[in-house]
Structure 1
Amino acid sequence: MDYLARDSADLSVELWNRIDDAVIGTARNQLTCRRFLKTYGPLGAGATTVAVDGVGKGEVLEDGIGRIVGRTQLELPLFYEDFTLLGRDLELAAQTGMPLDLAPAIAAAKKAARREDDLILNGNAALGATGLLTVKGTAKVKKGDWSKGENGFADVAAAVSQLAKNGYLGRYALVVAPDLYLDLQRLQPNTGMLEIDRIQKLIGDNVYMTSVMGPGKAVLVCAEPEYLDLALGLDLSVGYLELADFNHTFRIMETAALRVKDPAAIVVLA
């Protein structure tokens, strides 16, 4: 079965390859959270749920019956963005060999990437999904004014210390809003270093900026897969939606969910 319905479109393999390269390449460059989160899957387009094992997971055996506790099922919702390529543009490219303008595909890919990052960081109330900033059980560090002194470095150091003393060792990643990222571009007195450089030395260069976070927000995670990961059913793919008015509409889609197995591996700075 051709789930992406590509066989229903009279388009060349070369054109499909160009669309894939433009969409997937753009999305990969735009995605922030996949730079530090491990992925689980893809499990396939038909997968609708994925198991999440909490820290208390185990098997209870009693009276000849065994059951698993501490495991929940998480929905893998579908996220999509559509774009249209005009039939006349496709025909002109085929007749003349002129390169096809894939700007609509690139714009849609950027929206798809932003949607994924928004889900991971902020969750989605309509879906009942929580993100790194909203899940219950995270650690907290009171954030100072990062535009002054060494507050930014001190806050991140406090967050790292909190994770380390609780046994969360591994790859640390800091995600910040654009205004905080700008605040970190200051030369620190008596060090000859930018504040962001000091933080990168502390956590291994893993500092990321994204505009899907509101002003003044930051989160530090221990990004090991035993604590959290991104579950994928269908990874980012391009399908054929319809031919209408001789124009071709495509759909960028994925099924994904953030799996937080141990929220204590997350420190929200607020």
Structure 2
Amino acid sequence: MDYLSRESAPFSADLWKKVDDAVVNTASRVLIGRRFLNIFGPLGSGIQSINLDNFDETKSIEEETIDGISRIKNREYKEIPLIYSDFTLPWRDIESSEKLGYPVDLSAATFAAEACAQKEDKLIFLGSESAGYEGIFNAKGTNKIKKNDWKSGENPFTDIASAVEILTEQGIYGKLALIVSPDLYLQMQRIQPGTGVLESDRISKLLHGNIFTSPILGKNKAALLCTEPNYIDIVIGQDIATAYLELRDLNHVLRILETVLLRIKNRKAIVVFE
């Protein structure tokens, strides 16, 4: 059975390809978290949960046996939440395309794909307190550092260098990435007096170019993290796909959906600027 219900849609294979291309291309353009975090998966739509191991204190997986029953200590399983966004294709647009050869306007699909991608990034960066999911910026047990005024002097570079030092002192090694809100990113676009070098260029060189920004963060937020998959990754069950939902008032309602989970394995690999 096709759980995406595509067989229910009176769409040609060519139209489905155009919808898929519009959705995937738009999501790829908008998504930020996937640009620096490793992907575990896709595992498939039927995978509903995944193990979440805590390596903050221990570096190994231990099995314990009680009364002849063995289990892995300190392991929990987390449900992989489903994210979706709906859109509508008017039936008259479909008819015009089939009868007159006009292209179907897929703006509604691209707007829905943007919304779905933003929901993914919001879950990764900010989590969802109501649903019980932590994000990079609100996870408990991460390193915290006081942020100075990034609009003056060498404060951005100095703060980020201090965060790198914190990770190094704790034995956290590997690829680093800085994620900042748009306002802080703009505050780094200053030429340091007497150097002719942008503050952002100095930081970029320190981090091998791994600076990212997202409007999802709002204002005055920044975090530095080690992105090696043994510290943190993104679990994908069902990758972004488009399903046929229903026929409503003769118009075609579709749903863009995915299942995704941020998996923090070592909270000490994250430094949040406060």
Q: Does 1:247 align with 2:254?
A: no
CA RMSD in angstroms comes to: 1.1
| Cα offset, 1:199, TM superposition | 0.6
Q: Does 1:173 align with 2:167?
A: no
Give the structure-2-normalised TM-score: 0.96
**1:43-80, CA deviations, whole angstroms, 9 ceiling, x for partnerless residues?**
21122111111113321245644220121111111111
Gaps of 5+ in 2: none
Q: How many residue pairs were aligned?
A: 270
Give the structure-1-normalised TM-score: 0.97
1:55-134 paired onto structure 2 within 5 Å: 55=55, 56=58, 57-61=61-65, 64-134=68-138
Match of 2:216, SS state, is coil
1:1-270 paired onto structure 2 within 5 Å: 1-55=1-55, 56=58, 57-61=61-65, 64-270=68-274
Percent of pairs identical after alignment?
48
CA distance in 2, matches of 1:67, 1:23: 42
| Cα offset, 1:191, TM superposition | 2.0
Which residue identity is paired with 2:177? A
| Cα offset, 1:195, TM superposition | 0.7
Which residue identity is paired with 1:46? G
Match of 2:268, SS state, is helix
Where has structure 1 moved over 6 Å in runs of 4 or more? none
Which residue identity is paired with 1:2? D
Match of 1:162, SS state, is helix
Match of 2:202, SS state, is helix
Gaps of 5+ in 1: none
Match of 1:126, SS state, is coil
**1:110-136, CA deviations, whole angstroms, 9 ceiling, x for partnerless residues?**
111110000001000111101000111
| Cα offset, 1:144, TM superposition | 0.4
| Cα offset, 1:214, TM superposition | 2.6
CA distance in 2, matches of 1:77, 1:205: 31
Which residue identity is paired with 1:51? N
**1:98-157, CA deviations, whole angstroms, 9 ceiling, x for partnerless residues?**
221110000011111110000001000111101000111101111000000111111111
CA distance in 1, matches of 2:96, 2:122: 38
